């Protein structure tokens, strides 16, 4: 490895970072992570912290997960690559499709289409939604609905359904025919509604109104995260997703759940769909599917998709990636799935999630800078910071970054996203690890 000064000086010199300005990466050296163990990572200066970000919501089983590493190494030795395009397949991808069909059976999902990540999975679901309607003779159904505050990756389709201007404006014009519904975000919403259940009804009414305005026969699909993740961990009232499902069904609109974060246990349920008791037509997954160790994703298909695509000899899927069903990714996912089930991670995600959520609420008693604490469904928690609780004025970036640095110095890496501190640690977190995160946050706030 090059020495520490070389790495620090060159970070922003030859590499453009995602979601950052090149000037910023040039002027401010980020944490350069060089090592890991369990749920912790260590930086180039030898400082070790609990990774409360869990990589990027993906390292659910921690960094030391040996079965996944072994599976990757073994697969590299036997078959490092083979495609699943027409005419060939590979054993790992076949076995994984079988296992995923069992895993998602309770969600009514029985077929997999493999991708190289979350954005690919979203793109696949949007495309196949349009094709579904064409196959059924409803070629006019081309539009998409989604939630404001939603994050659906950065491909052109995903960016078009994204509900955050930061990922849109610079890249417009995006896909025509994408419309956004208010998010069930109790702390801030256009209705000034503070009751989550009534807010869910208002958002659902807005969805009905938009469908009527556009014409149901022009809409292909609604895509949404079961719990808005990158938008600031916004869990809806439990009545919300079932109402959305009912409206989609009644109007012939496919429901896609974007579960790139929520699938495989993060919410304390095996999927977001199962958490809310809904059955989507498609589910986009990625991130934790390989514990972050290999870029991979899977879109799961429900009954309607299966019937339509499998009953028509002309239903050729004109879509796919060179790395769809990559054997190394598939082997990693197989090991990951086995380990996820063996450790029954949902139980620990729920218990540690409650601990973090309650701990953050206790911090809110102590620090006025905390305007809202959201979570309560597994290991997805956010602290929204304000400079004034009464007006809910968002915190400035400088103060947010001080909290982040204070927490880092005290032993936890957290994620700052706008005014939010987001906590999405590995699902194998211990009670002591969770306390380390809470104490580090306490120190971060106290440092202001």
- Rg (C-alpha) for the chain, rounded Å, is 22
Q: Nearest distance from residue 42's CB to ligand PLP, in Å?
A: 24
User: From the CB of 121, what's the least distance to ligand PLP, in Å?
Assistant: 7
Residue from 55, 226, 229, 444 in contact with ligand PLP (CB under 6 A): 229
Nearer to ligand PLP, 112 or 370 (CB): 112
Which residue, among 1, 63, 37, has the nearest Cα to 293 in the 3D structure?
A: 63
Q: Which is nearer to ligand PLP, 265 or 359 (CB)?
A: 265
119-178: contacts with ligand PLP (CB under 6 A): 119, 122, 151-153
Q: Choose between 54 and 153: whose C-beta lies nearer to ligand PLP.
A: 153
Report the nearest approach of ligand PLP to the CB of residue 151 (Å).
5
Q: Is 225 in the site for ligand PLP (CB under 6 A)?
A: yes
If we measure between CA atoms, which residue out of 383, 376, 393 comes closest to residue 442?
A: 383
From candidates 118, 184, 226, 376, binder to ligand PLP by CB under 6 A: 118
User: In this chain, which of 96, 230, 305, 349 binds ligand PLP, going by CB under 6 A?
Assistant: 230
Question: Could you tell me the two tokens for 316?
Answer: 């050729």
The encoded tokens of residue 36 equal: 């890991």
Q: Rounded to the nearest whole angstrom, what is the least distance from the CB of residue 58 to ligand PLP in the complex?
A: 8
CB of 254 or CB of 440, closer to ligand PLP: 254
C-alpha distances in Å from residue 176, one per residue of 47, 144, 181, 339, 402 = 48, 9, 16, 42, 40
CB of 441 to ligand PLP, least distance (A): 22
Q: Which residue is nearest to ligand PLP (CB)?
A: 118
My answer on whether omega of the bond before 257 falls inside 30° of 0, hence cis, is: no
Output 117 or 419, the one with its CB closest to ligand PLP: 117
Nearer to ligand PLP, 323 or 445 (CB): 323
By DSSP bridging, strand 282-285 and strand 254-258 are parallel
Closer residue to ligand PLP (CB): 260 or 334: 260
Q: Taking CB under 6 A as the rule, does residue 377 contact ligand PLP?
A: no
Q: Which of 220, 222, 256, 286 binds ligand PLP (CB under 6 A)?
A: 286
- Going from the C-alpha of 235 to that of each of 33, 127, 292, 374, 424, the distances in angstroms are 31, 27, 24, 7, 14
Do the Cβ atoms of 218 and 142 come closer than 8 Å? Answer: yes
Question: For the range 386-392, what are the long-range contacts, defined as Cβ-Cβ under 8 Å and sequence gap of 24 or more?
Answer: 386/419, 392/187, 392/188
227 near ligand PLP, judged by CB under 6 A: no
Residue 261 or 403: the one with the smaller Cβ distance to ligand PLP is: 261
Scanning residues 245 to 284, which ones bind ligand PLP (CB under 6 A)? 258, 260-261
What pairs with residue 51 in β-bridges?
Answer: 413
Which strand (E) or helix (H) includes residue 124?
A: helix 118-135
Structure tokens at 338: 């086995």
Whose tokens are 């380990």? That residue is 339
CB of residue 258 vs ligand PLP: minimum separation in angstroms?
4
Kindly tell me the burial class for residue 416, based on how many C-beta atoms sit within 10 Å of its own C-beta (0-12, 13-18, 19 or more).
Answer: middle
Question: Shortest distance, CB of residue 434 to ligand PLP, whole angstroms?
Answer: 22
Interface residues with ligand PLP (CB under 6 A) are: 117-119, 122, 151-153, 225, 229-230, 258, 260-261, 286-287
């Amino acid at each position: 490895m090059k020495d520490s000064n070389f790495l620090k000086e060159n970070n922003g010199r030859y590499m453009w970072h995602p979601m950052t300005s090149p000037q910023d990466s040039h002027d401010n050296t980020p944490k350069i992570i060089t090592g890991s163990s369990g749920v912790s990572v260590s930086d180039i200066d030898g400082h070790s912290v609990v990774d409360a970000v869990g990589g990027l919501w993906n390292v659910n089983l921690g960094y030391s997960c040996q079965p996944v590493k072994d599976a990757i190494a073994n697969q590299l030795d036997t078959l490092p690559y083979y495609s699943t395009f027409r005419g060939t397949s590979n054993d790992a991808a076949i076995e994984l499709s079988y296992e995923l069909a069992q895993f998602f059976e309770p969600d009514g999902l029985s077929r997999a289409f493999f991708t190289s990540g979350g954005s690919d999975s979203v793109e696949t679901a949007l495309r196949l939604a349009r094709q579904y309607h064409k196959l059924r003779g409803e070629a006019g159904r081309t539009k998409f609905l989604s939630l404001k505050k939603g994050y659906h990756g950065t491909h052109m389709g995903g960016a078009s359904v994204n509900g955050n201007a930061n990922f849109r404006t610079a890249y417009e014009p995006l896909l025509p025919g994408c419309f956004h519904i208010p998010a069930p975000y109790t702390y801030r919403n256009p209705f000034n509604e503070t009751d989550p259940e009534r807010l869910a009804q208002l958002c659902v009414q807005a969805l009905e109104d938009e469908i009527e305005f556009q014409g149901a026969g022009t809409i292909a699909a609604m895509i949404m995260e079961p719990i808005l993740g990158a938008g600031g961990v916004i869990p809806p009232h439990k009545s919300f997703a079932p109402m959305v499902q009912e409206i989609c069904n009644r109007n012939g609109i496919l429901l896609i759940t974007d579960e790139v974060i929520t699938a495989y246990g993060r919410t304390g349920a095996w999927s977001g769909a199962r958490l809310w008791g809904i059955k989507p037509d498609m589910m986009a997954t990625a991130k934790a599917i390989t514990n972050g160790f290999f870029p991979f994703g899977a879109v799961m298909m429900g009954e309607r998709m299966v019937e339509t695509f499998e009953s028509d000899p002309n239903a050729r899927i004109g879509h796919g990636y060179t790395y769809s069903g990559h054997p190394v990714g598939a082997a990693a996912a197989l090991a990951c799935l086995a380990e996820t089930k063996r450790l029954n991670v949902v139980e620990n995600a729920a218990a540690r999630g409650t601990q973090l959520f309650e701990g953050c609420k206790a911090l809110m008693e102590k620090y006025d800078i905390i305007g809202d604490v959201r979570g309560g469904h597994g290991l997805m928690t956010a602290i929204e910071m304000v400079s004034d609780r009464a007006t809910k004025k968002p915190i400035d970036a400088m103060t947010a970054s001080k909290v982040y640095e204070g927490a880092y110095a005290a032993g936890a890496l957290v994620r700052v996203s706008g005014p939010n501190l987001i906590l999405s640690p590995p699902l194998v977190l211990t009670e002591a690890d969770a306390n380390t995160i809470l104490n580090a946050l306490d120190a971060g706030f106290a440092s202001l």
